[in-house]
Structure 1
Amino acid sequence: MQQVSGTVWVLTVLFIIGLLLFDFFFHVRRAHVPRLREAAFWTSIYVSIAILFGVGVWIFGGSTMGAEYFAGYVTEEALSVDNLFVFLLLMSSFKVPRADQQKVLLFGIVVSLLARTGFILLGAALINSFAWIFYIFGLILLVTAGNLLREKSEDPDEAPDNIIIRLARRFLHTSDEYDGDKLFTYQNGKRVLTPMLLVMVAIGGTDILFALDSIPAIFGLTQNVYLVFTATAFSLLGLRQLYFLIDGLLDRLVYLSYGLAAILALIGVKLVLHALHENNVPFINDGEPVHVAEIPTALSLGIIVGVLVITVVASLLSPKGRARTYVAAARRHATEFLDVETDPAYCDEIYHRLLGEEENLRKLPERHRARIRQEDELMALLRRAHQVHAERVAEGRCFAPSATGKPASA
């Protein structure tokens, strides 16, 4: 394994910190809603930086290090996209205004980067001291792969709830209203916490839980700590921009969990095979190495990319995915219009997006429309959105839409 000098480490860490500071001062500090063009541009910039860095690793470190970096980066990026589903549900659950979501995401990225760095150092120390840790990592990934498949049967629109969120709700007393992106505000002359801090705690805590799965996954592809750190960092840095770019497509990726389950299972098997090859556990082959074939990194990279391509293409072509996308978008836009956004101009824009999603619902095959009409909560939400918009138009607070504005149940 090729060693990386301390100078390279320092320069890399400074570069990553510089990117985070740039992101904060030039994008997040001013609350705004990133448009599709802005999100696409900066996503391409961050992905290009990650790819160019990988090319540099390939040139200066050799093909093995290059393949390990790209395998780790692609895997971590795919896991990050899956994590965006949870972020989306948390944002909706806490009713975070769209313009303030960037700050929450950047905070989550910083917490995740710090937590994963700690897990990386811990994982490296365990690997150097205990060869049997590969068995543990492999088991974690195989169990995680099974959990991903099992979670498909659960309600995809149910907001996640974990111990971090429960503790935060119990011990952090917040106001009911946001005050921009401030963490503290004043109510009745008293200084109180805003919901912004609570959602940051929820996002940060969820990120830490995600790290328990992602770090063993990348250690299954490379044990080079520098590659593990950089692949993880670059997969996180562009996550904020990616969130706003593929927000509307997240619900469309109905088969992503299956693809990720296959990838994690592959890496889990790879870890177990490596553990057998390095075996020193007394009750396995009398503590002697087991001569088994290992999965080459190049083959792992090819399988990972292939599985992701098949998963994404199948999801995009799936009628089920299209129906799920339209329903989720309509629900999200109606909720934002009613409960989240207060800016009149953006509320009007959200309402017109809602009309577009309802028109898409009407174009679905009858079997999907019939199923949607049976969702009483969704239909009531859409009718309420139309009613509130009509009231706002009558009061002169909104423009009347050019479309008919009929609910999707019509």
Structure 2
Amino acid sequence: MNFPLWVWLAVILGLMVVVAVDLWIVDRGEPREFSVRQAGIWVGFYVCLAVLFGVVLSIWAGGQAGGEFFGGYLTEYSLSIDNLFVFFIIMSRFGVPRIYQHKVLLVGIVLALVMRGVFIAIGAAALTRFSWLFYVFGVFLVYTAYTLIRDHGKGEEEFTENLLLRWARRLFPTTSDYVGSRVTVRVDGRRMVTPMLIVMIAIGTTDLLFALDSIPAIFGLTKDAFIVFSANAFALMGLRQLYFLLGGLLQRLVYISYGLAFILGFIGVKLIVEQLHDSHVSWAPQIPIWVSLTVIGATMTVTTIASLLKARSRDEVVAPAEASQG
């Protein structure tokens, strides 16, 4: 379905208003820590907002469009959990004070949203012109799934600076310490940036790199650029609140990589099979969106429960050992 320009503008304007309200409510006054209760309220708000959008889309554009949005949203939200591990490492490495972390995440995520919008527009135009790219996307997703399983448990405490971040470090004179939440400051008449700006660039560009996995994945569920963009936007908008809500739980999701690998592998195979179907290959079926929704939802539920059970059994073994040592 081709969504008119006014629908695009309305959604983008609505998201900008939500960001402005978020900034006004959360970031007004003196900097303070983001509590778990506050994070839970905001996560609930953004999830309800996404569900409401999906329901309205289903009523207005049909069940197929609504199903594709929910499938894309669940996929992006699931993959965003993997982002949170890296965000946690970045925050720890740069020593960001906890009272400023929510601001860093907001700016970085808005930056990533703008860049993803450009990426989606280019990807949609390329896929429309060159349908064979769906095969490339499918193979890439299957390979990514393989690397997630292969590298499970490796390098979780490492963070490699990307090219843009290294360039920013060399280009901008940077202060040694944070200056509140400011990104620039004048020192001895010389304008300098603070580590706050470097961290924001790290968050934004790192999330953009994650788009190399997530954007092809959602194009495997829908070819509509509007649904791709809106699903990405709603998943990203609640990401910083999810970061504080999960907190230490991130370290307990030990099987999440396996779940994400299965989802990416499934969507990769789905992309290839459906492109063969569109090429009139008789044995290649058209996979309905409800199957994708079921697979994604069931996979994340099973891996989350299995991770928590594993963490619980591990704690039960470690606790007596620590008590005996004490």
Regarding TM over 0.5, the answer is yes
Alignment correspondent of 2:253: 253
Matches of 1:50 and 1:160, distance apart in 2: 33
Alignment correspondent of 1:295: 287
Structure 1 residues 409 and 21 mapped into 2: Cα distance closer, same or farther (>3 Å)? farther
Structure with more contact order per residue of length (Cα contacts < 8 Å, sep ≥ 6): 2
**Higher-Rg member (1/2):** 1
Matches of 1:118 and 1:296, distance apart in 2: 28
Structure 1 residues 93 and 409 mapped into 2: Cα distance closer, same or farther (>3 Å)? farther
Matches of 1:221 and 1:275, distance apart in 2: 12
Which digits, 9 at most, give the CA deviation of each residue in 1:11-60, with x for residues without a partner?
Answer: 11110111111112221354221111111111101110001111111222
SS at 2:169 equivalent: helix
Aligned residues: 324
Give percent identity, aligned residues only: 46
SS at 2:308 equivalent: helix
Is the 8 Å Cα contact of residues 315 and 321 (structure 1) preserved in structure 2?
no
1:15-54 equivalences under 5 Å are 15-30=14-29, 31-54=31-54
Which digits, 9 at most, give the CA deviation of each residue in 1:268-291, with x for residues without a partner?
Answer: 001111222234xxxxxxxxx422
Write the letter of the residue equivalent to 1:207.
D
Structure 1 residues 175 and 146 mapped into 2: Cα distance closer, same or farther (>3 Å)? same
Superposition deviation, residue 190 in structure 1: 3.4
Matches of 1:180 and 1:168, distance apart in 2: 20
Which digits, 9 at most, give the CA deviation of each residue in 1:338-388, with x for residues without a partner?
Answer: xxxxxxxxxxxxxxxxxxxxxx9x96253xx59xxxxxxxxxxxxxxxxxx
Is the 8 Å Cα contact of residues 172 and 192 (structure 2) preserved in structure 1?
no
Matches of 2:81 and 2:325, distance apart in 1: 32
Is the 8 Å Cα contact of residues 172 and 198 (structure 1) preserved in structure 2?
no
Which digits, 9 at most, give the CA deviation of each residue in 1:78-102, with x for residues without a partner?
Answer: 1111101100100000000001111
TM-score by length of 1: 0.75
Matches of 1:146 and 1:170, distance apart in 2: 35
Which digits, 9 at most, give the CA deviation of each residue in 1:152-201, with x for residues without a partner?
Answer: 14132223433333333333331111000101224455332111111111
**Which runs of 5 or more residues in structure 2 are unaligned?**
none
SS at 1:318 equivalent: helix
Is the 8 Å Cα contact of residues 141 and 265 (structure 1) preserved in structure 2?
yes
Superposition deviation, residue 322 in structure 1: 5.3
Alignment correspondent of 2:117: 117
Matches of 1:73 and 1:86, distance apart in 2: 20
Alignment correspondent of 1:364: 319
After superposing the two structures, state which structure 1 stretch, 192-201 or 308-317, moved more.
192-201
1:195-210 equivalences under 5 Å are 195-210=195-210
Alignment correspondent of 1:351: none
Stretches of 4+ moved more than 6 A in 1?
Answer: none
Is the 8 Å Cα contact of residues 219 and 228 (structure 1) preserved in structure 2?
yes
Aligned-residue RMSD, C-alpha: 2.1
Does residue 315 (structure 1) correspond to residue 307 (structure 2)? The answer is yes
Superposition deviation, residue 138 in structure 1: 0.8
TM-score by length of 2: 0.93
Alignment correspondent of 1:282: none
1:274-293 equivalences under 5 Å are 274-279=274-279, 289-291=280-282, 292-293=284-285
Matches of 2:28 and 2:305, distance apart in 1: 36
Write the letter of the residue equivalent to 2:77.
E
SS at 1:105 equivalent: helix
Matches of 2:302 and 2:234, distance apart in 1: 24
Matches of 1:110 and 1:169, distance apart in 2: 21
Is the 8 Å Cα contact of residues 161 and 202 (structure 2) preserved in structure 1?
no
Alignment correspondent of 2:140: 140
1:80-119 equivalences under 5 Å are 80-119=80-119
